[in-house]
Amino acid sequence: MGDSNLPKLVIFGDATKGHVAEIIAEFLDFAKGKAEVLASCGIEDCTVDILQEADFAVVFGGDGSITSAARHLSQMNVPVIGVNLGKLGYLAEFNVDELKEFFPSLTSGKVRIDKRMMLACTISGKEKAEFCSVAINDVVITSGPPFKMIELKISVDGQPLAGCIGDGLIISTPTGSTAYNLSAGGPILSPKMEAMVITAICPHSLSFRPIVINAESTVEVFGVRVNEGTTVSIDGQVSRKLSIDDVVRIERHKGDFLVVSNPLRTQWDTLATKLSWAEKPKYKSDSTPTG
């Protein structure tokens, strides 16, 4: 029997990548006597019964590993402790050393958990089964081969919003606002906000600017003209082909993505250190070289 006062953890990480297996093994050794580890496995291999017993999910990897885990955990309300082993690690609040330093907070209950909204995406068509998925970052419609411009119609709460001719469309959560949305010229939203961002990808218009809408809105996208390879991509990890007869419906998911916050840094620290936001210009030195 385990100690009921110890936090119950599930550990996720792709042991085939880099030093992930070695780092997880070191952490398991560190956690002995400090936590009850229910399972250490791939997210797809973890059963619902185990997840229901877990207090926290510790995810070792990059942002892709965390978004994948968060989609699987979306129905379970298990807070995620993200440990960055990737290149950027914007979603991962901790590095390995910070996790060890933070660990006593888990046993003392002094843990701050942030709620972040998610999106529910449904694709329905005349001749195929309905597809549903949860999105942590974004739902992206991309033109695909043969890479001709596509035309989409967008409605919000049943009211026509705009037509979009270009390379596609991004509907993003606040968490995903610093992902593809940011690269496409969309705004940065505080991850704790409740809103959606609609951003066109290379629109054939100088006036199609990104728009921020209420989180409780329902967005519907209709394909007026699409390519053979036009797809709907969820967090860049799950994709489905989009046909002209399909309707893509995006709305707020009823659950939340629960993230354990790192007390050693703020959301603005992360924005500045990871993405160099608001970095000062590199001024020339006032000193005059000699010689």
How far CA 85 is from CA of 32, 39, 66, 93, 139, in Å, comes to: 22, 20, 11, 11, 25
Structure tokens at 160: 């026509």
CA 219, CA 206: separation in Å to the nearest integer? Answer: 23
Q: Is 89 left (phi over 0), alpha (psi -120 to 50) or beta?
A: left
Q: What letter represents residue 101's amino acid?
A: E
Distance of CA 15 to the CA centre of its chain: 21
CA angle, residues 181, 173, 228, in degrees to nearest 5: 60
Q: Which of 63, 138, 167, 235 is catalytic?
A: 63
Coil/strand/helix, residue 26: helix
| 55 is an active site residue | no
Angle between helices 20-31 and 96-108 (to 10 degrees): 30
CA 150, CA 223: separation in Å to the nearest integer? Answer: 8
Helix (H) or strand (E) holding 268: helix 267-275
Mind telling me the catalytic residues?
A: 63
